[in-house]
Chain A
Amino acid sequence: MKNRLEFSNITKAFPGIVALSEVSFCADSGHITALLGENGAGKSTLLKILSGDIKADSGEVLLDGEAQNFKVPSDALRGGISVIYQERQMVASLSVMENIFAGELPHNKFGVINYKKLRKEAQELIDLFELPLDARMTVGRLSVAQQQMVEIMRAYRRNSDVIAFDEPTASLADTEITILFRLIKELARQGKIVIYVSHRMAEIFQITDKIIVLKDGKKVADFQTGETDEPTLVKAMVGREIGDTFNKLSRCTERGDTVLEVKNLTTKKVTDISLTLRSGEIVGLAGLVGAGRTELARAIFGADKVESGEIVIEGRSTRYKNPSGALACGVALCPEDRKEEGLVLSRSIRQNITVSVLSRIRKFIFLDNAKEKKLSDIAVEKYDIKTPSTGKLVGELSGGNQQKVILGRATNELMATKVLILDEPTKGIDVGSKAEIYQIICDFAKSGMGVIVISSELPEVLNISDTIYVMANGKITGVLSREEASEEHVLELAMAGQ
C-alpha cells in the first residue's frame, strides 16, 4: 500500500504548445485529490503521463519517494496505477466478472477457469461496494454508468494504489452519481490514493479533500476543499493576459441580414437549440468538452441526422441530409480533427482545396487543371500557406498550414459560402499563426459571411466573437454579447446544470 503520489516539476511540450510547465503537487492515500481546470489547462496531459501513455519532458512521478519510469501503459498498471477514462476499456460480450478479472481469471494449472470462485470473488467485491450488479450480467447490456462501475471494480481488484478518474460523471444520472461517489469515498477509506479530474464545482465540493487548480499548464492554486469557495476557485482558473493580440484586430462592425437561423434543433446529442447569425457577425460557441458544440456544428452542416427543428439559410428553410446538400446551400464546416476529418493527407494541397467545388471547375466533363491551379494559387496567397508548390502533399505540411488549407477549401471564391463554421480553428497552432488566423476570421466577417467559431479556449472565444452562445449538456445555457461577457460568467454558464 503506497502512501503518497507526487508529481515533481512535470514539464511537457508539444510542437507549438507548452502543455505542462513545472507542475508539482502531491496526493496522499486515504484522500481524494481534485484536479480542476478548464479546457486546455493540462489535466488530460497530466493523466496521460500518470498512466504511462506519454512521457514527460522533464520532472518525475514518485510513489512513496520512488521515481516511476513507465515506458508503456501496462507498466503503469503493474506499478499500481489505474486511470478510469471516459471511453470504456472493456469487452462488451463478456460478463461483469470476466471483465473485472480480465486476463487473470482464477484457474487451475490446466487453465480451466474456476467459475464458482470467479463469481464468488467478483460478487463479493460488488457487494463490498454495495453496487446493484450481478457478476454474471453481460457488460454489453449494462448502462454506461454500470459499465463504469465495472471498470472501477477492475481497477480496485488489481490492487492499484492510485486510482484516477477523468470526468467520471459526464454521462451519469443523479442516482448513479450518488452511487459513484459512495464508491469513490469507499476507495479512499480503503487507503487508495484517489485523483479526481473534473470541472464540475458542485461535485468537487461534495467529495474531495484537496483541490489543485491548473491554468495554462501551470499549477496556480492548492487548496484544502473545506477552506475555499467557488468564486475563489473560478478566479484562480481564469483571468489571464491576452495582450494586444485581440486589440489589434481589424473587425467587422457592420451587420447585414440574418444568414442563418436555427430553430428548436434537436438531434441525438443536442436538444432544442435556437440560434441566429447575421452577415458580418461572429458567433462563438463556448462550453466545456462534451457540451455538444461540435455536435451542433455537425447538425447544422448536415453531417448528423436531425430529429426535429429547422435550419433556415437566408430566409429559406432547408432540407439537406448530408454535407453535400449543406454546401450547396452555402454552409461550410472546418472540422475539429484536422487530420482525421478535414484533409485527405495523401493528396496534394491543390486537390484538397478543390474537394467541394469539383463540379464547378469543369470544362465539359473534364476537370480544368488550369482553373484548379489558379484557384489553389489564390488560396495559398490569400492565406499565406508556406509551401514551394501547390502540388505538395498535405500530409507534409505543418499544423498551421494544414489549417489554412482547410480554410482555403471552405472559403474559395467558387463556394459562395454564407455560413462558415470553424471548429477549434487554432488547436495545436503556435501563437504567431494564431494571430494570423484571428484576423482571417475577422476578414471573413467583413466579406459578408456569418461565422460560427467553436473554441475551448475562453479568452479566444470571448474576444473573437461578437455574440457568445454558451452550451452545456447539449443545450444553450446563455447568450451574451462580447461587451457584457466575462470569463467568470461564461465559465459559470458552461458549468451550469451540472
Chain B
Amino acid sequence: MMTFLKSKNAILLFFLIALIVIFAALSGGGTLRPSNIINILQSITIVSLLTIGAGTLMIAGEIDLSLGGIGTMSSFVAALLLKQGVPWFAALVAAVAVGAFIGLINGFLVNELGFQSFIATLATASITTGAGYIFTSGLAVTIEDPTFRFIGNKLLFGYIPFSVLIAIIALIVYAMLLNKTKFGRSVYLVGGNRVAARLGGLKPKKVLYGLFINAGALAALAGTLLASKLLVANTVGITSSQFAGLTAAILGGISFGGGTGGMGGAIIGIMVLSCFNNGMTMVNIPPYWQTVASGALLLAAITLDFVTTSRRNKSEVKA
C-alpha cells in the first residue's frame, strides 16, 4: 500500500482529483453536468486508442509521430468508401487495414533501413496527412451511413456513449496483452534492453513490426470514430489529438527511456489529459491558449519524466 501511495500513479491520481475539483469549482459545477461528462467520455475514447498505440511503442523504446496523419487518412478512406455504397463493416475494415499498412511501413523504415523512429514517423506523417488531402481534394466528406453514425453517437441508457465501450474494451484487452501474454512481456524486455532480449531468444524486430502495425490500426480506428461522431471526415480530424496520445502516455508514467510503464498509469494519464482539455473549454479559456497549455503540459510531462528517470537510473548504478 505504501509503495503505491508513493508511486507516480498515486501522485497522478491525486493530481487528477485535484484537477476535477478545481475545474468544477471554476466552472460553477458546469464540468459535472451529464452533457459535459458525455463529452469527456467521448474524447477519452479517441485519446485512449491513440495512447495505447503510442504508449506501447514508447515502452519498447520507439516513438510514433504519424498517428494523427494515419487517423485522418483512414477516416477519409472510410468516408469515401461509404459514399460509394460500400457496407459499413467493409469500410471500417478497410480504414483499419490502411492504418495497419502505414504502420507496417513505419516498422520497415525503422527495422530494415535503420531510421530513427521519430524521423521515420515524421516522414510518414507528412505523407499520410498529404494523402488525406489528396483523396478528398481538401474537402470534408460527410458520413451518412447509419451504423457509423450509431457507433459514433449513440448513447446507451441515455448517458454513456457507445464509443466508450470500445475504449474500455481496448484498454482492458491491451492491459491484459501487456501484462499477461508473451508478446506483451517481450515489449517490456525489448524496451528494457534490446541486446539482452535478443540474446535471450526474443525477436526485437518482430516485436517492433507488431507494435507499429498495431499503433497504425488503432489510430485508424480512432480517426474513423472521431469522424463518425462529428458526422464528417475532414482534414483537421485527428491531427490535433495526436500529441494528446503522446502526452497522456508520458503523463501516465510510460517512461521515454523504454521498458517501464503500463496501461494503469496510461488510463490515469488519459483521464488527466481529457479532463484538462475539457476543463479549459468549460472555463472558457480561449482555444489558442488551450493549444499552448497542451504543449506546455507535454513539455512539463517530459521534463518530469526525465528528471525522475535519471534519478532512478543513478540509484541503480550505485547498486
Contact = CB atoms under 8 A, between A and B. Distances in A.
A327 B203 CA distance: 12
B243 to A, nearest CB: 26
13 contacts: A322-B203, A324-B203, A340-B196, A342-B199, A347-B188, A347-B189, A347-B192, A355-B196, A365-B181, A366-B176, A366-B181, A367-B180, A395-B316
Contacts of A324: 201-203
Contacts of B201: 323-324, 326-327, 355-356
A58 B223 CA distance: 66
B260 A346 contact: yes
A239 to B, nearest CB: 36
Contacts of A340: 193, 195-196
Interface of B: 176, 180-182, 185-186, 188-189, 192-193, 195-203, 259-260, 316, 319
Contacts of A323: 198-201
Interface of A: 301, 303, 322-324, 326-327, 333, 335, 340-347, 351, 355-356, 358-359, 362, 365-367, 369, 395-397, 409
Given A355-B202, A358-B182, A367-B185, A344 B192 contact: yes
Contact of A359 (B182, B192, B195): B182
Given A366-B176, A366-B180, A396-B316, A345 B192 contact: yes
A203 B5 CA distance: 64
Kindly name the residue among B182, B201, B259 whose own CB sees the greatest number of chain A CB atoms within 10 A: B201
Given A303-B198, A324-B203, A341-B196, A351 B189 contact: yes
By Cβ-Cβ distance, the 9 closest A-B pairs, closest first, are A355-B200, A344-B192, A358-B182, A356-B201, A327-B201, A344-B193, A366-B180, A395-B316, A346-B192
Contacts of A351: 185, 188-189
Contacts of B192: 344-347
Contacts of B203: 322, 324
A365 B185 CA distance: 12
A395 B319 contact: yes
Nearest to B180: A366
Given A322-B203, A366-B181, A395-B319, A344 B259 contact: yes
B181 A347 contact: no
A341 B112 CA distance: 22
Contact of A343 (B176, B180, B196, B260): B196
B197 A344 contact: yes
Contacts of B197: 344, 355
A324 B192 CA distance: 18
B182 A362 contact: yes
Contact of A322 (B180, B182, B186, B198): B198
Given A303-B198, A340-B195, A344-B193, 13 more contacts: A303-B199, A323-B201, A326-B201, A340-B193, A340-B196, A341-B195, A342-B196, A344-B188, A344-B196, A345-B192, A369-B180, A395-B319, A396-B316
Given A303-B198, A324-B201, A345 B180 contact: no
A342 B192 CA distance: 12
A55 to B, nearest CB: 17
Contacts of B182: 358-359, 362, 367
Nearest to A415: B201
Nearest to B188: A347
A344 B198 contact: no
A365 B173 CA distance: 12
B8 to A, nearest CB: 14
A335 B199 contact: yes
Contacts of A366: 176, 180-181
Question: Which of B181, B189, B193, B196 has most A Cβ within 10 Å?
Answer: B196
Contact of B193 (A326, A327, A345, A367): A345
Contacts of B185: 351, 358, 367
Nearest to B179: A367
B319 A346 contact: no
Nearest to A393: B316
A343 B193 CA distance: 7
B302 to A, nearest CB: 19
Contacts of A335: 196, 199
Contacts of A396: 316, 319
Nearest to B195: A341
